[in-house]
Amino acid sequence: MSVRPALAALPQVVLTPGTAFGIYVHVPFCATRCGYCDFNTYTAAELGGASPQGWLTALRTELELAADLMGTVPVDTVFVGGGTPSLLGGAGLAEVLDAVRGNFVLAPDAEVTTEANPESTSPQFFAQIRAAGYTRVSLGMQSVAPRVLAVLDRTHSPGRALHAAAEATAAGFEHLNIDLIYGTPGETDDDLLRSLDAALTAGVDHVSAYALVVEDGTALARRVRRGEIDAPDDDVLAHRYELLDQRLSAAGLSWYEVSNWSRPDGQCRHNVGYWNGGQWWGAGPGAHAFVGDTRWWNVKHPSTYAEALAGGQLPAAEFERLNAHARHIENVLLQIRLRTGLPVAALTDSERLRADDAVASGLLIHAGDRLVLTDRGRLLADAVVRDVLDD
């Protein structure tokens, strides 16, 4: 008999006025587990009796409780992530958005995004979610090089993401993102450039590109530890970043966050909300939320999540209250990654002096009353933050 972990009793949470508010929905289901992934996802064999329909029932209950707690709050953005949301099918994702709309009021121009694995999409899928009200799709392509996909344990064929992008465009989607991973052991410069060219040929208006990170506990980490493949090389990662930045910039996609490039008006508003200190309710197993000065995260397993909600309780595992100092650190950490930069006025006197040192070192530049990372600074963004902050 399983024992339900103690749930956190959330304090009263009140949205900070004047900030963007979004809803993140976590879909914890995956057909297979990619070797590099450490997200809170579950294959069929790991669900322990949980099901997509049971998850959806629990999700509706969480959103009802959230609305009771939050009151009437206009929702600027909705982001359905995972996991693999497209495994729910078009009808399932329509039900997810109906559950959000049934409890919250979406702003007239709300951005509604879903992630999708190309292998679990079709023309009918895209037509269904577009009719349901989704405005943006993020496709996980990662690479078009078969050897790279094999190392990452990706199951889709190299060209499927491009066909999916064409199908989404035909269904009426104007905003499409493709996710890439660079620095996979065995990847060449040409592999990356062919992946970038494929994304650009597909006509997407947004590309997210992330350096491969070997996370503890993953199959990839075990292969590296056994010496089967090499760990990603920092110098190679820096070189690949420069390659992709040059290729995307030349094609008219400008960086607006260290790992994100878009055409004008193609930015992901939901993620921009995170980086600019916005607030959001995170619904679903393991989802994180942040409202007012409170951050919390839900219990991870879908069965435990559903059990808590069936008992009328919010499924929060833990929460923390952020004081002014903690908020300051997060603001610097996140805003400095944006092309719009960090307001100089947000820094303490001593931090401004250290920021001047970073300017002198060619890592930051002054853009009016803001500090913006240089091209070299983007390669060292985390180190720049560490050097500037008082802590």
pLDDT, tens only, 210-224: 998 877 777 777 887
pLDDT, tens only, 95-108: 999 999 999 999 99
pLDDT, tens only, 13-51: 888 888 889 999 999 987 776 766 666 776 776 677 778
Residue 2 clears pLDDT 50, i.e. is over it? no
What topology is assigned to 21-276 in CATH?
TIM Barrel (3.20.20)
Kindly list the domain boundaries of the chain, sorted by start residue.
21-276, 323-390
Domain 323-390: which CATH number of 3.40.190, 1.10.3470, 1.10.357, 1.10.10: 1.10.10
- SS3 string, the chain, reads CCCCCCCCCCCCCCCCCCCCEEEEEEECECCCCCCCCCCCCECHHHCCCCCHHHHHHHHHHHHHHHHHHHCCCEEEEEEEEECCHHHHHHHHHHHHHHHHHCCCEEEEEEEEEEEECHHHCCHHHHHHHHHHCCCEEEEEEECCCHHHHHHHCCCCCCCHHHHHHHHHHHCCCCEEEEEEEECCCCCCHHHHHHHHHHHHHCCCCEEEEEECCCCCCCHHHHHHHCCCCCCCCHHHHHHHHHHHHHHHHHCCCEEEECCEEECCCCCCHHHHHHHCCCEEEEECCCCEEEECCEEEEECCCHHHHHHHHHCCCCCEEEEEECCHHHHHHHHHHHHCCECCCEEHHHCCHHHHHHHHHHHHCCCEEEECCEEEECHHHHHCHHHHHHHHCCC
pTM of the complete model: 0.92
